[in-house]
Each structure stands twice: as structure tokens, then as C-alpha cells.
Structure 1
Amino acid sequence: MNKKIRSLFLLVFFIVAQSWFLIVLIKYPYIGINVQYDNGQWVIKNLDIDSGSTRLDLNVGDIIVEVDGKPPEKNVLVRKWDTVEQAFSLVIKRDGISNAVDISKTRSAIQLDLIPIVYEIICFTIALLLYNKVANSRSANYLAYVFYVIGVTFMALNPSVRGDTLGKVLIANGLLLVPIVFLNFLIVFFKEKRIANISSKPLKYIYYSILIEFCLCSAIIFLSDNYIAKQTYFFLRFTCLLLFLIGILFNFVILTILYFKHRKKVSDESTVLRFVWISLFASFFPILFLSFIPKLLIGEELFLSTYSGFFVLLFPLTFAYLIVSKKLYDIDFMLRRLLFTVIISILPSFVVVMADIAVFQKEMFHRHTLYMFIIVLIIQTIVLFSVEHMYTRLERFMFPRKHLLQAALKKISKDLMSTFSFRELKDLILLDIVNTLQVYGGAIVFKYRDSTEIISEGEIHQAEIERLIGQAYPEEHPDLMCFEINRHEEYTSFLVMTRKKSNTRLGLEEVQWLNLIISYLAVSLENVYLIRKLTDKLNSLASHLPGEQGSSDFNWFRKLSFELQERERVRIATDLHDTTMQDLFFLKRKLKAIGEKHALSPEVSDGIQSLIEYIEIINVNLRQNCFDLHPYLLQEIGLVRTIEKIVERESYSCPFQIRFDAVGVQMIERKDLEFKRHLFRIVQELLNNAKKHSEATLVSIRLTASMGYYVLHYRDDGVGFDPSKLAAPDIGTSGVGMEQLRSRILHMGGHLELAAAQGSGVDIRISFPMKEGLTA
């Protein structure tokens, strides 16, 4: 059957059956009068415990004369089940005297009606959650069916004791289905977890057999209202109860075989099997040995199945929790924890029961006392077991400060994973520490042999920090607290904190929190230091790369070096735009506001206007610097237009004339952004070198795309230089120089031709093939 059709059928069946059962439950109380036909009279055989009959003036042996104004044999339920249910009035005869009994105002014990409803709600709620939230797991779906079957069985309990035929048939078949659906779930689960591959095909025929049996027995019971219906139901109930026991035993046999097959393996499979066996035994032991087996052997339950039925939920509830919470392979831990919780709960549960007996003067070994002990034990176990979860949920309300520190610790530890520079330490870590502890300021200090480096945040004096670090015992200071992070042969690092904004020193809890942060920070600082050291060495190496011969071996290194440079340029440009330029903007606006709001003298007004104009000049220069660092126009207007703009800008400040033209613009603009960025950087470096060293009057730059090559031709009429004496500058200074230029060209697969001599200018021709590959 299709999954959707099956789900729809089960839903419709649930709605129809539940509606009918609610009508029966509300309309009729549980009377619980069992009768037998003796010498032509219907005599009360016994009265069910906690039923409505115990609150009526009825005794065993009373003769039923009328039920709802008619002879007992005219009542369908009396004929079918030998019980008086769904009735409103009785006439009984005792010692020859007839008495009328009004049943309409009688109510059965609330707990007997309420307990099955609670079980039912639990089962259907968990079935719905499993079916919807773990829809991708077949075992979870079959576990949902287990809950559904158990829920239907509990749903049928109240109408069944009230003589409802549908309830009686459902509760019998529900018992029969429970072990079979359990087995189906276990087969699917073991197959899903690759523990065992058991065929489920025989179960299909068992389901069909149960369906046929259900239809036949229901037809007989519904259509008959005499001895045949009664015997059919008794046979059905006995058979289903017996098959229930056999089915549970069969489940245990399969689990035992599988466990002995895997028990020698130290694996998750043996742990899961052991858990399933133990939890299945704990679930069914009470209802089997205290209710059903005594019912079969002596005709009476030692422990009401209404109460022992709760334990049936333990196995599927535990499994549902483990599946949903994905803690299936933490079973050993969960079992130990549960067992320990039960042991702890025994003593307080016993004390509660003893106190109840002492206060209300109850009998010591009354059955209700045992029920109470078990219920209290279960409640205590559940509460203690869930204390950790409840504590986690309520921690933010019970211990807000501790919760805040833990949340900050998680954030800081996460940020430390993405921290690769000292500047990020300030922006990501130090700022969070200062804000969390609500101190005036903090600093991370690196003390080298001959110098001190301080990264600070907030209101903290660097001179005071240097004086503190210079002491023999830097921990002692009236206003500052100093914590050593790590001690290295090249440096020692410290974390320095000021007083809190409440003008108090950090408390013990906050100091412990800081020590935990420091343990994480020590590792991160060491990594940052090594990254800085490695970066310096890489930059130094990049400036001394070999020439064109064998350059492909170092292409990966060039690519990495250029990517790091571009990333750093973008970061600096972003910082300038987001911080310095924004500050200048607000400063300019405040100065304008002062001039507009106040009546100032002409001299002061002119001074403010001069400041505003100077700020605007600084802003323009910063904007130009940001563009040089991050030429965003490459993507918006293309390479040629971007070079034209930079040439136009430089023409105003350069002592020489700049000419630029481009041929084959469309072919040039088809290249990817990385190519354009490298070409733009080459033009930048050529212009920078010309401004610094050329002393030229004319600089000419020509960019062409033809004959299978992109060619950049640079020429100036300056002083020139001797190529044999060209030295590579240190990387990390300006990032320019012929070696740096050559490295970038080689990375792009280009070819450099240099013609220069002292006093005769410079002529540089750089070509790149339109197809990738080295031409050098």
C-alpha cells in the first residue's frame, strides 16, 4: 500500500474511531456490574474495582430484575458480555424486596478514565512527531506505527470496559498487532543500521491474516447478540492474548540470537542489541507477569493492566528519544545514567510514600500504596534524568551572568578559529572580552627583547601598561590586572584588563572565565605569530624568485603571494572607507553645524571654512588611495576606462606628460577580472616608478590586442638606469621594483623586453599570449 494512502487511511480511521469512543465515554459511565444466568435469573456475579457500581447500593448476589425498564435478557450487552453497561436505571431484588437504582448520576473513578487518555495522547503525539520530523528514516516511521497501534489499544480501553463492541474488538486486535509491529520495526531498524538483514516478507502474510480475522470476528460479534457473539469474543480475546505473549517471546528470541552473534565484538552493534533487549524486557515484564499471565492462569490480574500498561511505552519512548536526539550510539551512557537515576530516586520515593501513609493513616501494604510508590519513583526518575536538560534551558534565567559568560566564550572560541592577524585579535577577540566583562579597557601585549607591541581596546593607557609589564611582578597593580598568556623564546604575551565600569576589580568567576579564554588565546597567538613570521619570509622569498627559466615551478607561489597582497589591499581600503573617511564625514558635518547654529566672527568662520576645505582635500586623497588599493571600477567600466581615469588623475600631480591609448579594446575587455587586475597593477607600478625615478618629461603607455598577443608598451624620456645594477627591493615596502614586476608578468604567462641605459630613458614591452601558456 502506498505510504500516503496508508497514512490517510490511518488518519481517517483514527478520527472516526476517536469520535465514536468519545461519545461512548461522555455518554455512559463505567458501571462494572458482571452478571451470570442462574436458575432463570440474572444474578450479580462481581463488581469491578473502582467502577461506578462500588458507589451504588449493590451487593454480589443481588438479582437484576430490570435494566432501563426492560427484563435483563432484552438488554444486548447483558446477552453479549454478561455485563450491565450503557444503562441508566436498574431494578434489583434483595431478600425478596425490589429496589430501584439510578445509574445516570454515577461516575466511575476519574483515574481509570484519565490514565488511558493520557497514554493515548502520549502515543499519538510521539507518532506524529516521528512521522513528520524524521520522515527520511524508515525505522522512525515504523516506530511511529508502533506508537499508533499502542495508542489505538489505549484508545479502545475505556469504551471496551463500557461494553462497546468496536472497543472490545480493537483492543483484542491491538494486543495482537503490538508485537508484530514491534518486530517489523526491529527488522527495519536493524537493516537500516546494518546490524542484521532479516526478511520482512512473512510479516506481510501475517498482516493479511490479522485483517481477515478482524473482519470475520467483527462481523460475527456485531451481527450476533447472543451466545455466539460471546463465545467468539472470548475465543478472540484468549487467542490474541496468547499470541501477544508468543509474539513478545519471539521478539526476545530473535534479539537474544542476534546479541550472542555480536556480543564478542566490541562495537556499537552489540551495545544497541543489549539496549534493545533490556528495554524490551523492562517494557513488557510488568504487563506480562503481573497482568496477562495471571489473567490466563488464575483469571485475575495481580496488577491492573491500566497501570502496568504504562511500562509498555518505556521501550518505544526511549527509542524515539534516541532516534530524534541522534544519541543512539550513546546508549551505554544513557543506560548507566538512567540506572543511576532510578537508584537515587528509590529512597526519596519511599520517604514520600511513608509520609503519605503516616499523614493519612493508610494501610501499609495496600495495593494503592504500591501504585503510588511506582508512580512517585517514575516521576522522580524523569525529573532527575531531565535536570541537566532543564538546567541548560533555564540557565539564562537562573544564572544570567554565567550564561552570558558562556555565550561569550563560545563566540570568542569560534572567532579564534578565523583569526589570522594581530589586528583581527583586536577587532574580534579583545572587543568581545571588554564588552562582556564591562571593563573600561583591555590590551594584548607582546614583550620582545628590545621592544613592546600593544593592541588595546577601550580606555587604557599604554604608558601605564608598559610600566606594568616592565615590573618584576606585573600582576600587582591597583587598577590593572595582568595575566600571562604564553612565554616564548622570542616574546612573552600578556592580557591586561582595567577595572570594571562599576569601579570594582574582576570577580573570581570572571577571572576563571578569563583564564579559560587565555588557554584558547595562547594557541591562537602562537599561530598568528607563526603566520606573521611565515608571511615575512614568503615576502622576502617572493622578491628573490628565479628568473624566467624554471618560473613555472614557482607559479603557485606567485599566485599565493599576489592573492595575499590583493586581500590585504582590499582590507586596508575597506577599513579606510568604513572608519577614517566616515569619521572625516561626521567631523565635516559637525563643523558645518557649528558655523550655521552660532553667530561667529568672520575670522572664526573663515577658519572653520578652511578646516572644512582641508578635510575635503584629505577625503579626496583617501578616496584616491582607496581606489589605488581596490580598483573596483575594473568590474564596472572595464580596464581601459579605469587606466584612462588613473592617467587623468596622475596628470594633475605628475611633473611629466602622460599619453595613453588602447587598440583592440573589445578583445581586451573580454579577458577575466584577474587578468585585468594584474595588468592594472603593472601600469600602477610603472607610473609609480616613473614618478620616483624617471625625471622624464613624457611618459607614453600603449595597450594593444592583435596578432594573438596583448601588448603593453611603456616608454619614457627620463634618466634611465643600468639594468645590470637593478636590485630587488624588499617585499613589504612599496611592493614595486623590476623584480616584482617581472614576477607578476611571469605569473600571467607573459614576456618582458627591457631596453634601458643610463641617460637614455626606458623602453619596456610586455606581451601576453591570447592563449594561456608561457612565452618566456
Structure 2
Amino acid sequence: MSRTRIYSTTFILIAAILVAISFIYVQLNTIYIGVDVQKNQDNQWYISYVDHQGWAAYKGIKDGDLLLSIDGQNPELHPSLKYNSIEQAHQISILRNESHLLFSVTDDINSQYSFDKSRSSILFFAILYCFSLFLFVKEKKDSSAQILILFFMVTALTYLGSIPSGMRVHYAQAFVLVSLPLVPTVFLHFLYNYFNKYKIKVLNPRMLYIQYGINALLFVCGILTIYTDIGYKLNTLLVAKVSLLLFIIGCIYMIFILAIRYFQFRKTIYNPIFKYMIIGNSLSFFPFIFLFALPRIIFNEAFTSTYIATIALFLFPIVYVYLIVSKKLLDIDFIIDRLKYFCLLAIIPSIVILLCVGFLYDIQRFSLAHWILSFSIIYVVIVILLYVKERIEYPLHNTPFKKKMNFQLSLNDFSQQITKLNKQSDLEELIIHEVIKMLPIQSAAILEMDHDQQCIEIKKESEFLQPDVRFWDITKQKNRTYIIGEMFELNLGMCILIGKKQRFQYLLWIDNKQNRMNYNPDEIVWLRTLANYIGIVYENLDMLAGIISQFELREGSESPSWVSRLVFRLSENERRRLASDLHDAALQDQLLWYRKYEDILDEIKISDDIHRRMEEIKEGLLDVIHQIRQTCNELRPSFLNEMGAVEAIDQLCVNATFNANFTVEFNHSQLDLSLDDEYVLMLYRITQELLRNTMKHALATEVKLVIGNDDRVITYEYADNGVGMDLSQSKATLKNMGLSGIRERVSSLNGETEFYSSEGHGFSVKITLPTVQGVG
């Protein structure tokens, strides 16, 4: 590059990074409202579309709401209505079901829109900027590299600026309005320069002047519609659609130019270059054109999101950097031939799969956009699978790998079949069948060896097991401990351990090979892998049988209260032990390191910035120490026995009021009974669980708790005014909320529990407990 060209390219790169920073700043600091509006027959503005990723969707604004005012003024006065949308607003007033609703547009909700969309566009800009720097350093002498850098920056900034443009940021709108049709224009300029060094004239330079002139005219129209009131007279959305249409025409035109030149030079050395360009441009821009741009112009609705439609753009810089830098090209003719073959093969399967999907699901729910998008996805996936299949199939077809591939397929089939088994006998039958099928043997058997009794039982055998086969020499191995998958040879055949259960071991015995040869390494690896699979399934089936027997036992009879009480006592002992370990080990170590850190912080001299950051770390350590202390108190409150039930529960209520958005009214005036430790602990745990549920789920503002007693029973009543719940839901849901645990705790002391709740009517629970004399 000449000095002037170097300076101009440097300016392009610096200007691009500055514009990108401004776009990114706007994206991350501007609220995307995401509302489109239209006028109804009464000339009133109403909400016609709400983007689910925008602020309006999070605030509950719905389609059909009537728009009353924006920022306290007539909606007609707000500039964003030129685009039939609402952006850059501070207050929105709507009418819904004769109710006036006022929304303040504040950044109190993290909209996923800015993050998700910004992430892909920033990544795309970063990749193209790196490629541009690479070209700037690597190809300084190539004049076409400068135009390619300009093309990369225009494309990347157009993508990056599309989000703030959608937020109706004026300078971003003006930039995207002119840069979008400028993308194919700059690319044609690149083509002209690139082939000019080969003395090939790909297009008339007058076409470039015409296209640049059209872009300049469009820029003027865009400025007038965006920054003046002419936008109300001239349809602003029409100008945006014209920009999008010029982009589509420009992309199709550049593909057309490349195709014409390809047929012109197809018998020359430039044939591969044109093929690369045609394929690269088509794969990069056609998804955006046919899935987003054209449907947006024709149907006012895209087939897919901008994010999906622009993924293919990442291919574009790779192709052209490869063309500029590479000295050798891949065999594009071979790739194209295979691609055409796979594309032809994929048509019928894609149609069949699409029809099956339509048959299985409700066809009425699918729009034309859904059908086209579904077919495109299925078609592309099948083409890719066919290509991958060919790439991996050839090496596996070589003769030395045939048997190994069969073993791999056998393992895959076996792993799929064992997922359907739920009986040990079925598993044993499958093992025998698989071993006989894959190995050149005549007989096999599943053996159960009892180490205590020193006996062996044949659990399952093949059809041709000889009656004179004896397994007595297996008992010689009883003093050895084997792991699953380990083998040992016998006088006749070989055994491999496939499962263990208490004093029993399960063995797979296989006969000697019929050809009298030893088992080769592939067969041994296959047997050991199979044994590991079987060992896992044996263990799972054993656990399943145990769980089923436990369920049958529980269904037959309810556990006695003393059993439940014992379980809870063991649980509390474990809590106490864990709290003690946390307090004596983790907490003390944390305090020790905190003091050492504090001493170092006081002794050394550091800058204010580092000192501030180290103070933040110190505060974080203090928070961790406080959390450990709080966890210890929750596991086993140290004050419970000393304070008693009333004081301990009152402290819980005070803490809940302090940490949550509801008040707790605790009435214990009717309680005049001294409770023992078991009752105190149970009431404390129940209150702890109920308050925790209220914080997490209830959205309550008031909680009432009453504890009292008479001569025979203790009563415990808890109620909140939250959202309530449907008590008919599954037991699993109730268990996750701790309600089943509460019922079991009360039952362990022969008490009764009643839950009362419905959706929207709060939640309450009434517990009655016999006095200590009534507990058996």
C-alpha cells in the first residue's frame, strides 16, 4: 500500500472502532421497549405487537392495549411513532378493559434482548476487525485488501448498529439506512479491484458510480425522514424497506455478476476463484435474504429471528481472507460435486420427515414461514449428515477394522436394549444371546457364586451347554477379590466377573472357542466393556428391586410413630454434628485467615485503588464468616434449650420480618405449658420451614402465628395472606416445599396436621399435638 492508502486504511479502522464503541454503549445502556403500534378504525393508536424479549413484555403490556399518551403527551407528538413503534420513551399510558395503566420505563429489569443480541453482533464485529487487522499487516501491497477491509467494517457495523437502530437511536438509524445497501456496493468495488490485477473486467465502473449515487440519495432521504417532520408525510417504514430492498437487489446482482464471469472463465485457471466466491456469497447472504429480509418486505414478518438469519455471515470473512492469503485452494470441484449429489439425495427424506412432523403435530398451528424454516433445517441437517457419513465411512470399511466395528455396533445395540430391561432374568437371557452371537463359541452360562456356602448355581445357560461341564474349580478362587470386568481361566473355558451383591458374585462363563484359538485382544476388550455395562445394570436392577420392596412395604402398612421419631432424632443428631464441624473447623480457619489478612492490610503500603479492592475482599470474607455462623445456627440453634420454644420462635419471627417483605404477628398468650426439648425442637423446625416457604413462594404481606394449649392438646396455627396454592397437586411438589416433612414430624408425636389453601386465598396450617402424657 502507498502511504496515502495506509493512512486511509488506518482512519477506517480507527473510525470503525469508535463507531462500534458508541453502538455497544447504546445497546447496553438503552432500554429496548419492543412495541409496535397501529391505528384502528376510530383513529386510535393501539399495541399491535409486543416483542417477548423487550421491556414491554416483562411489564405485561399486551397486544390490543389502547395507547393514551407517551411521556404525558399526545402519542402523535412522539418521534418514534413515525416508525409505528414506541422507543426512547419514559412513560407510557395505556387503556385496558376500561382501566388506565401508567408504566414508567426504568431499567429495573434486565432484558435479555440487549445481552443476547449484542453478544452475537459484538463477536461478529470482533472477528471481522481481527481479520481486517490481519489483512492490514499481511497484505499491505494489495490494493484490493483495503477495499475488503472497508467492506468488512461496513458489514460488521451494519450488523452491530441494527440493534440501536431498532431502538430508534437516530444516528444509528441513519447509519444502517445507508450502510445496508452499501454492503453489496462496496463488495462489487472489491471485485472490480481484485480482478483488475488479473486484467479481468468483471463489471463496468459506471455501475459502481450509479450504486454509490443511489446510496447517497437514500442517505439524504433517510436524514430528512429521521431528523425532520417530513417523516410523518413520507412513510418512514417505506424508506427502511427501500433500503432493505436495495440490499437484496445488490446481493443478487453481485451473485449474478459472479455467475456470468464464471461461465465466461470456467475453462481458465480462474474457475475455482469464481466458484469460491459464488458459494461463499450464497451461503453467507441467502439465509438472511430468504429467511428474514424478503419475508419482512412481503409478509411484514420474518421466517426467523435476525440472530439465526445472520449466523451464516460468519462464513463470509473466512472465505475471502482465505482467497486473499492462501496460495493453494481446496479442490472446490470435488466439494461441489459431492454437495450436489448429497443435495439431490436429501430432497425426498426431507419431504418425508416434514410430512411426518406435520402428521404428528397440529398442522393448523404451522404457518408458511414455519413450514419453510422446518424444511430448510431438516434439509441442511441431512446434507451435513450425508457428508459426515462419507468422511468417516471410508476408513472404517478397511478390512482390519471390520470386526472391530462389529464389536462397537454390538456394544451400541446392547446399551440400547438394556435400557428397556427391568428384570434380572431378562438381562441374563440377553447376555447369553449377545455372547453366543458375537463369539465363535457353542455354549455360555451365568453363574451365581456364594462365598459363604462355597457353592455355585447356574442362573442361566445356553441351549448347547454340555451336562458334564463342571464349575467346581471356580471355588478355588474364593480367597481372591475380583473387580468387575476381571477374567480368570478355568480348565474348561473362561470366567469374567459381571456383578456383585453382598456375599454373591455373578460370573459369565464362556466356552473355549470352537477353532481352539485364544481370545484375541479385540474380543477381550469387548468382553470387559460388556461386563462393565452389565455390572452397572445389575446394580441398578438390585437397587430398583429394593426400592420397589420398600414401596410395597410402606403401602401395606404405615410406619409406627416411634420409627419416624427415631429417624428425626437421628437427623437432628447429624445436623448437630455437621454444625459442630463447621463451627470448629471451617469457621475457625476462616477467622484465622481473616485476621492474618487484616494484619497484612494494616502493615503494607499500597495504592488507594488496590487498597479499596482489598477492602472489598475483606468485606467478602466477613460475609462468608457471617453465612457460616448463620448456617450453624440454622442447623442447630445454640440458644434453643436456654430460651425455650416461645423465645426461640419469636426470634425466628423477628429475623423473618427483618429479611422479608412481610410482618409476623406471633400470639402465644394461651400457651402456659412447659414443653420438653423434643416439642421445642419440632415447633421450631416447623416454624422455620413455614417461614422459609412464605419468603420463597407466598408473596405475602402478613403472617399470623398462634400457639396455645388446653389440658389435653397443644394447638399451632399458622396463616399468611399470600398467593396460596393448589393442594391437589402432586406429592412430589408438596414434598419439595417441605409440607410432607412437616406432616411426618407431627405424626411422629401422634399429632394431626391440616393444610388449608387455594390459589389466591393464602395458606394456613393447623396442628394439634397431644401433651407429653399422650405421646406413645
TM-score normalised to the size of structure 1? Answer: 0.42
Look at both structures and tell me which one has the larger radius of gyration over its CA atoms: 1
TM-score normalised to the size of structure 2? Answer: 0.42
